[in-house]
Structure 1
């Protein structure tokens, strides 16, 4: 009886949290890029609980696990992260009353570590040389050793990752542009944003073009992005979805942060700047249309990058 009451309360809390996820605004890029026949619009994804685009999959993964009885207040959610998904897990879980353990590369930024600790996360640090690939291997090892202690979310293989964008990001973009979106552009990390949004937009209008952005080298500086040729490829990745694949130079993207701040009034993350760089490349290749991209997060977790840029 006590367990049933606790489960009911948990489901009620997670439903309340859901009201704080999604429905982020579309911001028109008007000065960094100017063309009267081509619009560029960006989803400001930090304007939701968890402060990044990862709030959508984090919430969807946690809610599905609770609904199916795989996760409760007695079990700890476990996953590998480079930061943003972990912070989103932590925020959603804290509000719902769930414990979280995260495998995090030791070289994650100071801000990420501080935020995770603030939410009460149990951090398991992994080699800074192995990135999120090493963190994934450590998480799988922990689950194998103690399967009853953890619910392994596995964001890189969990369909609730991309389905979150299928059910929210895609429809939001279509509605916010009154169906005028012609191109969707996004970088690839777990690939959930690209797969879910593209799949839904194509159902709404098969003529919408989808452009996937990739870092141009294995040693790139774009937090959360994956160099597919050298990384562990996420199981949810669908390499047949993109109409076009573009390579993005990390330094060119990071330098664009200055222009976005001074011309648009937004201080964004390197990955957001990289997405805009890709959107501009697409916009320059067409005669008319509406190009939509995603700004995954702002610059609040990248103080070292920002200090170097504006010193």
Structure 2
């Protein structure tokens, strides 16, 4: 005798719909007086632990729909961490082989996470940075080792945020969002969310966080002109503000200790910018992306024992 069961989700179906939470202590009395609210979107709650779960799933599923890839294929991607982990998870779900190319100076936790999902990891010299890793991945594709999904040029990356992240922010703030702030790496998040929010309200300010000269912040990049992601469009970002590595690392520790939000350094950098913006405005609803979880950075020494 058969019995009906609840419609249980698959792991892929749990991507997205992450919490949007109000910061309580860090914004301080000044923002209360100015009637500003600062909200963090907790993307570490995605199954592979970052905002990159959204574009990873989008790039896979749409490539399959177009017939560009099929289960059993080998795919290649250059990554600094989060996208690689997300792609490795989706590859495991759908039955693909995944080769990830990453600079050797990225945290051991990120390497181990990729391997745990069954991906093959190729480490490139730290001196070459992500630029060398991207070139190496391109060469692997030319050599017939697999197909690159290309997070830097694939429109299915920002499309994921047009279809999910942006609408979630709009709905969760009941259309009251006035400012959106995101770290800029691949630029898929800020580009896609901007497209959606600007269609809803052209006055919403889209602000990108980039590292100051000499600062190295995982997940935030300032690309040389020849490596600027093809998915990026200047017109989608109202302005860019710069943050130091020291400020981002200090804010990551503060977020854990004062707000109970254990996140990565790039998310903390976005909050540094959000607080700077909040000093100059009133009656604002400011949303920043908490792109991943802090346990991905334990070996870096940012969170001392």
TM-score, normalised to structure 2, is: 0.92
Aligned to 2:64: 66
C-alpha distance in structure 2 between counterparts of 1:154 and 1:143, whole Å: 11
RMSD: 1.5
C-alpha distance in structure 1 between counterparts of 2:105 and 2:203, whole Å: 42
Aligned to 2:256: 261
Q: Is the 8 A contact 2:183 2:219 kept in 1?
A: no
Residues 141-184 of structure 1: per-residue CA shift (max 9 Å, x gap): 011111xx522101101111111111110000000000000000
User: Does 1:200 find its partner at 2:217?
Assistant: no
Aligned to 2:82: 84
Which 4+ runs in 1 deviate beyond 2 A? Answer: 15-18, 228-231, 307-311
Aligned to 2:5: none
Aligned to 2:23: 29
- SS state at 1:59 partner: helix
C-alpha distance in structure 2 between counterparts of 1:91 and 1:18, whole Å: 9
User: Does 1:285 find its partner at 2:283?
Assistant: no
Matched ranges for 1:1-311 at <5 A: 16-34=10-28, 35-36=31-32, 37-146=35-144, 149-217=145-213, 219-229=214-224, 232-305=227-300, 307-311=301-305
C-alpha distance in structure 1 between counterparts of 2:205 and 2:105, whole Å: 36
In structure 2, runs of 5+ residues without a counterpart are 1-8
Q: Is the 8 A contact 1:248 1:274 kept in 2?
A: yes
C-alpha distance in structure 2 between counterparts of 1:267 and 1:205, whole Å: 31
Equivalent residues, number: 293
Q: Is the 8 A contact 1:86 1:102 kept in 2?
A: yes
C-alpha distance in structure 1 between counterparts of 2:160 and 2:67, whole Å: 19
In structure 1, runs of 5+ residues without a counterpart are 1-14
Q: Tell me by how many angstroms 1:221 deviates.
A: 2.2
C-alpha distance in structure 1 between counterparts of 2:224 and 2:136, whole Å: 22
Q: Tell me by how many angstroms 1:230 deviates.
A: 6.7
Q: Tell me by how many angstroms 1:203 deviates.
A: 0.5
Q: Is the 8 A contact 1:17 1:92 kept in 2?
A: no
1:224/1:231 CA distance change after superposition, 3 Å: farther
TM-score, normalised to structure 1, is: 0.90
Q: Tell me by how many angstroms 1:275 deviates.
A: 0.9
Residues 162-214 of structure 1: per-residue CA shift (max 9 Å, x gap): 11111110000000000000000111101000000011001011111111111
1:310/1:230 CA distance change after superposition, 3 Å: farther
C-alpha distance in structure 2 between counterparts of 1:308 and 1:189, whole Å: 20
C-alpha distance in structure 2 between counterparts of 1:119 and 1:68, whole Å: 25
Residues 227-267 of structure 1: per-residue CA shift (max 9 Å, x gap): 13477211111112222221111111101122211210112
C-alpha distance in structure 1 between counterparts of 2:275 and 2:292, whole Å: 19
- SS state at 1:130 partner: helix
